[in-house]
Amino acid sequence: MFSSAILVSWGALALLGSWFPLKPNEMLLSQILRPPTSHDWLGFDDYGRSIADRLLMGARTSFVVAFAVVTVTAGFGTAVGILSGWLGGWWDLVMVRLIDVFLAFPGMLLAIALAGLLGPGVDNVVVALAAVGWVSFARLARAQALSVKEREHIQAAQSLGVSSLVILYRHVLPLISAPLIIEATFGIASVVAAEAGLSFLGLGGQPPAPSWGGMIRDGTRYMLVAPHMVIAPGIAMMLVVLAANLAGDWMRDKLDVRGLSGTN
């Protein structure tokens, strides 16, 4: 499967990249803006650095950010959404209004504002994206929890005196996990694109640390004389985002999950 191969390769390069003899920051003045050749498939940038090496190291940055953000947002958002749907009452009302407030702002603009306030850096990018990304998981988890809380086996567990935490963990969460996993898959694509966007704006990893968005930003100044500086990271990012979206579509069709977006 195309998407699986791309995602596995991306993860493998991110996790095993340090084992390769990469020199992403080595400058060779004789190779400045040198186009791709049979020996150097992706060429060199404006400082004479290997684009292939920087591309592989940039894969680690995008992978780490995507993994961290999706893990935090899925965990926190799911917990908030399940509790909101399960408890109801004033707690649900407060959570719904809080979710509405976050949804009122464009997610990327809010992430840019938070990253700008926190300052540039990969850690701050994770915090900024996590601060705006939990809402989709909370909204979905709440809608799913509301749809299953009235099922007979859950009501039977309540009548037997089983604690709410046990019911949520053993009965509710397994029933709603499929759409949440699919949402997480789509979230990977969104985070990769968002991280590249923040790095392009100078809010992500700082030079000389390689990142795909930073590489694209540096290459825009040499589009006419060295288009390979933009093409290589652009294609890499496109393939990962496309693969994540295709994987999410495949899982949604396989699990026969419809209507991921819940209503308040």
* Per-residue model confidence (pLDDT) at position 45: 92
What pLDDT is recorded for position 257? 55
Residue 263 has a pLDDT of 39
Residues of the chain with pLDDT > 90, as a percent, come to 56
Q: What pLDDT sits at residue 94?
A: 92
Rounded to an integer, the average pLDDT of 139-144 is 92
pLDDT attached to residue 260: 46
pLDDT score of 261 more than 70: no
Q: Is pLDDT at 256 greater than 80 in this prediction? A: no
pLDDT of residue 126: 95
pLDDT band at 264 (very low <50, low <70, confident <90, very high): very low
Band the pLDDT of 19: cuts 50, 70, 90.
Answer: confident
Residue ranges in 104-227 assigned as alpha helix (H): 107-118, 122-148, 152-159, 164-167, 173-200, 212-219
Q: What is the mean pLDDT of residues 126-151?
A: 91
- Residue 50's beta-bridge partner residues? 44
What is the average pLDDT value for the chain, to the nearest integer?
Answer: 89
| Sign of CA pseudo-dihedral 49, 50, 53, 56 | positive
- Between CA 127 and CA 243 the distance in angstroms is 25
Please name the residues in contact with 3: beta carbons below 8 A apart, sequence gap of 6 or more: 242, 243, 244, 246, 247, 250
Q: Which of 39-43, 143-147, 160-164, 189-193 has the highest mean pLDDT?
A: 189-193
Q: Tell me: the pLDDT tens digits for 177-202?
A: 989 999 999 999 999 999 999 999 99
Q: What's the confidence (pLDDT) of residue 67?
A: 95
> Is a pLDDT exceeding 70 seen at residue 119?
yes
What does the pLDDT read at residue 154?
85
List, as own/partner pairs, every contact residues 23-29 make where C-beta atoms lie below 8 angstroms and the sequence separation is at least 24, other chains included.
Answer: 23/50, 23/53, 24/49, 24/50, 24/53, 24/54, 24/56, 24/57, 24/208, 24/210, 25/49, 25/208, 26/50, 26/53
Superfamily per CATH, domain 24-255? MetI-like (1.10.3720.10)
Q: Output the pTM of the full model.
A: 0.88
Mean predicted confidence (pLDDT) in 83-106: 89
The string of pLDDT tens digits covering residues 212-224 is 999 999 999 999 9
pLDDT, position 246: 93
